[in-house]
Structure 1
C-alpha cells in the first residue's frame, strides 16, 4: 500500500474473526445482523492508532497505507472486497461485461449518496479518474488507471483526457473501456484510486480534501467529523450510506502517536481497542512474549519490505555495487532478532502468496562471498582501487523504532562484511516520502502491500523510469516489454511465465534490495468482532462491532 505505496507500510492478512454475512444477489457486503440482531449496551466506539498524519485523504493523491486505512472507512468504489477476498458490487448495484472483456457497464445504486446528501453519480467517477490522470495533479497512483483505454497517453501528456475510455451514459450509468482484457479489473475498482469524488464540491473548492468540514464529502460507511492535524481523526457512522444497516460502530477515533511503546501502553490501559498493524505498530521486542502468551495475532500478507536504490546516484548507478549491498544483508537475523513477527526473508520481489517458489527466491541470503565478488567487480567498473574510495552511502528511513533498528543492523552488516561506510538519515513520513519521490536520497526504506491480488502489481511499480512510485529511476526495456506483453496474453500460464521472466530481470539489475515478506501482527480487544483485514493488508470496519 504505497498499494497499496506503502508506508509501507508500510504499509501490509485476513483477520481470523469475521462476521459479515452476505445478503441479496448483488449485496454480498450487506450484513443485517452483525451482532446477531441483539442490541448491545457496549458503546459502539472504536479507538485505534494510525501512527502519523495521512499523506492525503484525496483518493486521487493518496499513496500510502495510513491514508488507505482512513479512506477505506470513509469512501467506497464501484466494488468492495468482501470477507473472502472477492470483489462484490458496492456503489454499483449491477455490472455487465462485453464478451471480449474490454467494456464494463456499471449501474450506480439509486440510493448511493454523499455525506452531504448529494447523489453519487457516474459523473463523479469520471471526474475523479480524469482528475487523477491529469498530469498537472501529479497523482503518484495514476498508473493504476492505465488499464483504461487512453489513460496512460493522457497522463503522460501524449493524449487527451477527452479520449480516456470512461464516460457517463447518464447519471447512474458508467461505461468503462479497457486497453486489454483485465481479469482483475473488478478488484481494481475496489482500490482507492478508483474511488469517486463529489465533483460538485471539488470543482467549487479544489482543496476540499485538506480538512474536515462541509467540503469533505465521502460516500462510505463512515464520515469524517474531525481532523486535528498530526493529532487525531474522528469518524462517525454515515447515515446516508446505502448499506447503513450493516454498520454497527457509531464512532471511530484514530490517534496519531508515532511511538509503538506508547501505543501498547494505551492498549494495556484500555485507551485503545486495537494495537499494531495494519493501523499502527507494536514494539518489536515484546512480540515473542505476546506470542507466547497467546495474545498476538499473526498473519502473512502480500507485501514486501525493501530498500530502494536511487540508481542515478553514484555509486548506486552501478549494478554490481547494488548487488553487493543486497547480497550482504542477513535477512534471517533481521526477522528473527528485530522484526520478530514471523516474516519470511525475501530474496525476490513478489510475495510467495503469488509465486510459491519465492519462499526460496533467486539468491542466497547473506551470501558474503558473492557480495564481495560483486563489490570488486563494481569498484573496477567505477575505476576505484578499493572500497575506501567509495563515497559514504546514506541510508534513509521514516521515523519509526522498527525501521531504525533494521537500518542500524544493515549499517553494521555493510561495514563489517564489505567495509562500506553508511550514514543513517531519518525524517517524519510526509517529509520522507517527498524525499523519495523527488529522488533526493541514496537508499531508502519502503514497504509495498499489494493493491490487488496479482504479481504484476509488485513489478509494474518499476515499469517506467518516471512512473508514480518508481523512486529508483531505474528502467529496463526488456522488463518493460514483458510487462506490457503480459497484459495482452490471454493464456494464464504463459502470462505467469512472462511475469516470472520479468522478475528475474528485476533481481538481476537489483534496483531494490528485498528484505522480508510482511506479516501483520496486532492485538485487539476480545469483544471486538467483525473487523475485516484483507490478505493485501488493508482493514475494513464496515462490519465491526463491540460485544
Structure 2
C-alpha cells in the first residue's frame, strides 16, 4: 500500500486502501465475487425477493443461519436495523453512506425469524437490488453496548432529521462513534468477516489473522465465501521505487498499481516472470482534474473550459499510462456502453480555443499574463495545482498542464501534498485545481454524494462545488425513482453533457489495473473491480 488507510470505519471510509482491508473484516448482504465479476449473496442466504407496490418496493432478505460475529453471537436483522440507523442518523460521520441508502424508508423485522427482514423502499430503480445489500453490516452488540439507538426507528430517522438531532441518547452515541477509535481500534474493528486486525503500525504495516473456526467455512455451495490465508500482511511503502525493489527481491507476494513504464520493464524480465504472473484487467479507476468553482478566478465556466483545453489528455496517457488507459468524456466508464455518452467528443488540446474562451470570460491578455477585474480588484489568472505526493501519474499530468499553460503566459504552480493534507484541503475547499482518482464499479451509478450541491458544503464530498438545478434533479432521480435502465441511460448521458459544459470536473481516462502476483498462489480471482484481487481466496499451489 502506498499510504495507510485513512480509517477502517465501514461507514465513513473513502479510500481504496481502506476498502481492501474492511472487506476482510466486515461483510455486506451482497457483494461482487471477483472470480466471476457477478453479484452474489454473502451475509444473505440468497438474493432478495422483490415486491413492487405502487410507490414503494419491498426487498426481503434472510441472513445465513451460520453467520456469526467475532464473539460467536448470531448476525440478525437487528444488526441490519442498527446499521441503517447509523447510516441515516444526523450528527454522525456518515456522509459517504447516507445518500447511498436514501431510498430505504424503513425496515420491517420478522417476529418469527430473527434473521429475516424487509426493506421498504421509495419507488423502484434497477440498481436497488444491489444497493439494498451493498453496505457493510455492523455488530450492534459491539458498537452500541448501551443500546443508545435501540429506541429510535429507521422510519423516524428517514423522515425527521431535525427532531431526532435533539435526542440525548443519539448525541451520546454520536460523540462516541465519531471518535478515531471507531476507525482504528482493533477491539472495535470486528465484523462477520473471516479476519481480525492483529496489528497496525502506522506508516509501516497492517496485519490480519484468520479467525479460528470462522463460520464461513461451515457453509455449502458458497465457494465465494473464503478465508484461506492464515495471515495477511499489508506493507505501507509510499515510494513506488522502493516497493518495486521489494517485489523484485521477492519480499512481496502482490503489488498493485504498478506504473506503466515499470510494468513494461517487468514484462521483459524472464527471471521475474518465472516467479510472478502479471495481470492487466480493465479497471474502474477514473482519473480527473477538479477545479474549485467557488474561487472567483474560476467561477466562469468558460475559464474552466479553457483550462480543460490545456490539459492534453492524450499526451498525459502516452506519458504516464502508455497503452494501459482509455480516454473518457465523463465519469461513466467507456466500457459501460449502455450508459456512456458516445455522442460527446473528448475536450482536446487546443491553445487557440483556450485563448478564445478566456477572452469570452473577460480576461485580458497583457504583456505579463491574463488579468481581470474581480469584485473590484485586479486579479491575474494563475493556477495552483495540488496532487498526492509520489503519484507519478498526477505529477506528469501537472507538468504537462504547466507546460501548455506557459505558452499562453498562464503561471501554474505545482505542489505534491501528503495524502492526509490533500484530503483535508479538498474537504475545506482550500485548493484551486487538484488531480485525483475515483474508484467505481459497473453495477451502480449513484454519484449524488460526489456531484450534488447538497454535498458541496464544508466537509462534503462535492469538493469542486459542481452542480446546477438540472444536474441536481438528475442525481435525485438516479438515486431515487428511475423506472428502468433505459431512462437511467438517458439521465446519465445528459449528466455527462452537463459535466462537460460546466468543466468543474475534467475527465481524463479510465485505467487498466497493473499488478503482479507470485506464481506460488492460485485462486487469486484477479479482477478490474476493487480491490483488484481477493486475497482471502488465495491458496498455495500443490507442488
Shorter-chain-normalised TM-score: which range?
Answer: 0.7 to 0.9
Deviation at 1:423, TM superposition (A): 1.4
Q: Secondary structure at the match of 1:436?
A: helix
- The aligned residue for residue 237 of structure 2 is 257
Give structure 1 regions of 4+ aligned residues with deviation exceeding 4 angstroms.
Answer: 292-295, 356-361, 380-386
Q: Distance in 2 between matches of 1:457 and 1:384?
A: 47
Q: Tell me if structure 2 keeps the 8 A contact 1:303–1:448.
A: yes
Q: Distance in 2 between matches of 1:107 and 1:348?
A: 38
RMSD of aligned alpha carbons: 2.7
Change in Cα spacing, 1:304 to 1:417, as seen in structure 2 (3 Å) is: farther
Does residue 436 of structure 1 match 2:426?
A: yes
Does residue 419 of structure 1 match 2:374?
A: no
- The aligned residue for residue 206 of structure 2 is 233
Unaligned runs of 5+ in 1: 1-49, 150-163
- The aligned residue for residue 87 of structure 1 is 39
Deviation at 1:513, TM superposition (A): 1.0
Q: Trace 1:186-201 onto structure 2 (pairs within 5 A).
A: 186-189=129-132, 191=134, 194-201=135-142
Change in Cα spacing, 1:55 to 1:140, as seen in structure 2 (3 Å) is: farther
Deviation at 1:292, TM superposition (A): 4.6
96-105 vs 250-259, greater mean Cα deviation: 96-105
Give CA deviations for 1:468-513 in whole Å, capped at 9, x if unaligned: 4211112211122233345534243233122211210111111111
- The aligned residue for residue 275 of structure 1 is 255
Q: Distance in 2 between matches of 1:84 and 1:142?
A: 26
- The aligned residue for residue 543 of structure 1 is 537
Q: What is the aligned counterpart of 2:193 among 206, 217, 220?
A: 220
Change in Cα spacing, 1:230 to 1:129, as seen in structure 2 (3 Å) is: farther
Q: Tell me if structure 2 keeps the 8 A contact 1:343–1:519.
A: yes
Deviation at 1:134, TM superposition (A): 2.3
Q: Distance in 2 between matches of 1:403 and 1:167?
A: 48
Unaligned runs of 5+ in 2: 146-175, 219-225, 372-378
Give CA deviations for 1:497-542 in whole Å, capped at 9, x if unaligned: 2221121011111111112112211111112222234433324223
- The aligned residue for residue 121 of structure 2 is 178
Q: What is the aligned counterpart of 2:62 among 107, 118, 134?
A: 107
- Structure with the greater alpha carbon radius of gyration: 2
Q: What is the aligned counterpart of 1:530 among 508, 523, 534?
A: 523
Deviation at 1:72, TM superposition (A): 1.2
82-91 vs 205-214, greater mean Cα deviation: 205-214
Which structure has the higher relative contact order (CA within 8 Å, separation 6+)?
A: 1
Q: Distance in 1 between matches of 2:370 and 2:203?
A: 43
- The aligned residue for residue 160 of structure 2 is none
Deviation at 1:316, TM superposition (A): 1.5
Q: What is the aligned counterpart of 2:382 among 392, 396, 415?
A: 392
Q: Secondary structure at the match of 2:124?
A: coil
Q: Secondary structure at the match of 2:513?
A: strand
Structure 2 length as normaliser, TM-score?
A: 0.81
Does residue 127 of structure 1 match 2:103?
A: no
Does residue 98 of structure 1 match 2:51?
A: yes
Does residue 78 of structure 1 match 2:29?
A: yes
Q: Distance in 1 between matches of 2:282 and 2:341?
A: 14
Deviation at 1:68, TM superposition (A): 0.7
Q: Tell me if structure 2 keeps the 8 A contact 1:284–1:402.
A: no
Change in Cα spacing, 1:501 to 1:214, as seen in structure 2 (3 Å) is: closer
Does residue 289 of structure 1 match 2:289?
A: no
Q: What is the aligned counterpart of 1:310 among 292, 311, 318?
A: 292
- The aligned residue for residue 494 of structure 1 is 487
- The aligned residue for residue 475 of structure 1 is 467
Give CA deviations for 1:144-167 in whole Å, capped at 9, x if unaligned: 434433xxxxxxxxxxxxxx4134
Give CA deviations for 1:172-227 in whole Å, capped at 9, x if unaligned: 22321112213223433554xx1111112112464553434433311112221111
Q: Tell me if structure 1 keeps the 8 A contact 2:449–2:455.
A: no
Q: Tell me if structure 2 keeps the 8 A contact 1:472–1:511.
A: yes
Does residue 516 of structure 1 match 2:513?
A: no
Change in Cα spacing, 1:369 to 1:291, as seen in structure 2 (3 Å) is: farther
